[in-house]
Structure formats: C-alpha cells, structure tokens
Structure 1
C-alpha cells in the first residue's frame, strides 16, 4: 500500500514538473500551428527573436532565480500578440503577474534599444537598386522604394488622462496610429509612433520627417500608399473610382 501511494505521489510530481516545463518552454511542447496561434511567429521566427534578445536579457534575474531569456521572450510575445491581460499570460506561463509585468517592460526596452540597428532607410545605391528591383518583381511597378501605411496599436485607456478621447479611433478603440514604411522584403525602414488613434493617416505623413525629405528632393524614388494619402510625385495612390481599363490596372 505504501509503495502504491509513493508511486502515485511520484507520478503526480512528474506530471506537475512536465506541465511546468511545458509552460516555461513552448518550443518543447507546442506544435508549429499552436506556436503561431499563440505567439504570431513561426518556430524559426521565435528562435531568431530569442537569439537576438538573449544577450540583452541573460544577466537580468527575477528574485533569487533567473527566468531564462527564452521564457521572457515567450511571455512578452504572448502579450504583444494578443494584448491579453497579465493574469492570462501569467497562468499560461506559470509565473506571477508581477513577473509578467516586469518581463514585458524588460523585453520591450531590449527591442526598442535595437531600433537603430534594424529600422533604417537604405542609403547605398546598391541597396536602393535591390529594393526597387524587388518591388518591380512583385508588382511590375518601377522606381518603388517603399510601401507606406498606418496600423492601430491598442492602448490601455486608464493612464491617458484628460486627453484620452484623442486616442479613440473611428472604431471606438483607444490606440496609437503608427505609420510604417517597409521595403520589398517587408523589412521596416521608417516608423512614426507618436500620434493618437483619432489622427488621420495623411496628417501623420504630412507632419513627418519622411514627408519633408521627399518634398525637398533629399530622398528619391516612389512610395506606394492607399487612397487615404494625397497623390504626390513621389507618392502613388490608387484612383478612388477607376473608370478606364488603364486606371483599373494601375489601381490594382
């Protein structure tokens, strides 16, 4: 009887250990489909992010025990992917809410610190030419150096203060309206992330440095944007109501 009870106790302990281990390292337990569902990255994508951030997170510890960098990355990616509340992320990864809060802040700071390394406009003629060739291969559109658009990033309304209403977008959600330019390989080359959700895309562009640089002729090439942007020599947008075969082909 004692042996049987000991067996049950050990089996339950192993089960708890396995569950804890699986929570801590989804690379060991999640299928590729589940990985993408929960973290919005492929397995290889997650591993690349971990490789990049691990040196920046390695020496930071949580109380007397270090939380491994790959766990910190998973916790932050889960929060970024879903804008889920800390409690849900905490339960999924088996760590406290306070730890989740600190980890998200820590990983965010590490990512922001890499901005200048990864987000940069191509400056050499070779890079510019490769980019234009990439866009031409995809769209048969010559001279393109970037595609521009805005995306709304949800915000917690509680710390926004008396001006919280300016962050409410047309869907009634508190957001930042973030302007992005990407190259032919979907690498981000320019970011403007300071405007509240109520601001229109065209207003953000016309008050950005990239607008001034193109208007002054200090940047060359063409940007592609949607119909929410004004048409410029350097900014091609679709016709709102294309009424000829040529205009329809251009807009498509």
Structure 2
C-alpha cells in the first residue's frame, strides 16, 4: 500500500452500558452511537486489545474510574464516526478532551498495527478471479480488477500555520487528497493519503507505489483475456478522465458526439466507476471525522487517521455488518470538485481500449 510521510496504504457515561452484554432492545441504540454492530465492535476490541493494553497508561473518567478496553474502543469509534469535537466527545462520555485525543490516537495506531490485513491487494488467483467476475457482472467489463478514484479531506488550518498555503487546492480550500482503488464490494484494496489537495489525480497516481508496481509489471500482471482471435487484454483498473490512459488503467473516451461504440463503452465504464464513488461516499458518511472540515489537524497524523477509517470501512464489509443494510447509497463524496482532464495517453492503451469497446459492442471479429 502506498504511503506519504507516514502513509502511501456516570450520567454522561450511560452509553457504556451498551458495550457490555445487554438486552436486544439496545441494539439499535448501540449501532446509532457507534456506527457498527455489537458483533463488529467485539471483533474490533479483540483486534486492538494487545497493542492498546500493552502500554501502562491508565486512562480514566472524570470520576476517577479507569477506562476498560471496551470503553477506550467505544470512545475512539465515537470520535471517528460522529465528527464531534474533542470537547463534544469528552462531554458525551464524562472525561476530558486530552484523554479523548490520546485514546483515539492509540486506537488509530492499534488499528494500523493489527488491521492492515483487511486492506490489501488480492493475493491469490482465486480472489482476483472472483473480483473480475463481479466487476463483469456490473456492466460487462471483462478482466477488470478495480476502480481508482480520489477525494478531498477538508482541513481548517491555523492562520499562524506557515505551511497553510501549500495545502490550498484549486478551489481555495485547505485539503488533503485520498486516492483509493476499490473492489466490486466497495472494499478498499489500496490507498494513498497525505498529498496536498492541489495535486491532480495523475500526479498523485504517479507518486504511488501502485503506479511503480504496475509500470514494472509486478501488479495487474495476471492472466490476459482473449477477446477474439489475435486480440487480448491484460488485467486493468478503470478511472475517470483525470487519470492517464495506460495499458493497465482504462479511462473513458473524451469528446462529444462520439460514435455508438464509444458511447456505449463510456456508459459501461461510468456504471462500473460508481462503485468507487459510492465507497468514498460511504467512508465519509460513516466516519464523519473526515467528512466535513478537520479542525486544525496534525498533518503528519491525519493520513494515519484516514487509513484507520479506511480499515474500519473494510472491517464493516468483511464482517457482513447489518448496519450496511440501513445505509443509503449515494455517489456524492467530493461536493464542489470536478475532475480535471488528463491528456496523457499511451498508444498501446488506446488500441486496447478500442478493442475492448468493439468487443463489448460485438464488433470484434471472432
């Protein structure tokens, strides 16, 4: 996974009763507060237990009672999922904002240490074959292994921050870019977080380890698919027009009044790309700390907070969590931003895209 800097891949405490075994009537309230089911919560606790409890620090509530592991995980999940301020979360649980900050950071470190197996590129042929099959079932794109997209994480920086201007994007917002590659079940398979929001999609891609691995033929190097006699297509991912057209990254055709073959290809391409847009929209909706504007973030730590949210997003999918059934599917994740058009196009990739478009329209010779 790519990384930049750190990354390239009592009265107010009544909700804590929800963390222990309690009647089923509390389930809806539990999921409302923590954004995950009790089953998923218990799994996350078991995942982070050792690294979170290894350090001697004793976190406590204002009444002096020590925080259990479940208490700490609940507090961190509430901080990440609610989007509330440190003080808001502290008041909610009956502690102070410094404790909220420290517990959340310890949780982020623990998720990063123990949860990365939930966010990785497919490692077996069987897994990649299943992914290709599910993508083809969406709108017919064969041999497709993923969808790439980016989103902006907004930041409110201090007026005294000397580096603030470096984070101004083309819409005059301070932001950080998150690039993701998504599978057909909206699971993140590769992420890059940490670059300034003013960078375009092509530049972020070219700085990623995924780009290097793919360029060297060490990724997307599985079985080629025969489209017709003498015509085949390699494994690839799809992305919008902000990305370069490469042998392993297929982008849509540009221009108006395109011939029917190209228009049909673009429709299939767009329908497939929706998977990534919906994944990013769900990420921001569930983990609202990165949904709005992050208040004066530590810019070295923020990429790791983003990573933790991406891992949690995947854990919810991997656990087949029932909370997903309640979510409204939307593709709106980057309001106000439009993709720029990248003019970079590899000649071999142009031929491959044309062959794929003709194959999908039934116009390739057998």
TM-score, normalization by structure 1: 0.78
Which of 7, 16, 41 is the aligned partner of 1:24?
A: 16
Task: List runs of 5+ in structure 2 lacking aligned partners.
Answer: 1-9, 221-234, 268-366
Structure 1 range deviating more: 81-90 or 25-34: 25-34
Task: Note the C-alpha offset of 1:173.
Answer: 3.3
Distance 1:180 1:50 in 2: 26
1:222 and 1:235 in contact (8 A); partners too: yes
| Aligned length in residues | 234
Which of 226, 248, 253 is the aligned partner of 1:239?
A: 253
Partner residue in 2 for 1:131? 131
Is residue 214 of structure 2 the alignment partner of residue 214 of structure 1? Answer: yes
Higher relative contact order (CA 8 A, sep 6+): 2
Q: RMSD value over aligned CA atoms? A: 2.9
User: Secondary structure at the residue paired with 2:162?
Assistant: helix
1:13-92 alignment to 2 at 5 Å?
Answer: 17=10, 19-27=11-19, 32=28, 35-36=31-32, 38-60=33-55, 61-62=58-59, 65-92=65-92
User: Secondary structure at the residue paired with 1:158?
Assistant: coil
Distance 2:143 2:93 in 1: 47
Are the structure 2 counterparts of residues 161 and 133 from structure 1 closer, same or farther at C-alpha, using a change threshold of 3 Å? Answer: same
Distance 1:180 1:160 in 2: 32
2:181 and 2:191 in contact (8 A); partners too: yes
Which of 216, 235, 243 is the aligned partner of 1:229?
A: 243
Higher helix share: 1
Is residue 195 of structure 2 the alignment partner of residue 204 of structure 1? Answer: no
Task: Note the C-alpha offset of 1:42.
Answer: 4.8
Are the structure 2 counterparts of residues 215 and 59 from structure 1 closer, same or farther at C-alpha, using a change threshold of 3 Å? Answer: closer
Per-residue Cα deviation, 1:44-93 (whole angstroms, up to 9, x for no partner): 54444334223432455315743122222232223223443211111112
Structure label with greater radius of gyration: 1
1:89 and 1:100 in contact (8 A); partners too: yes
Distance 1:156 1:26 in 2: 34
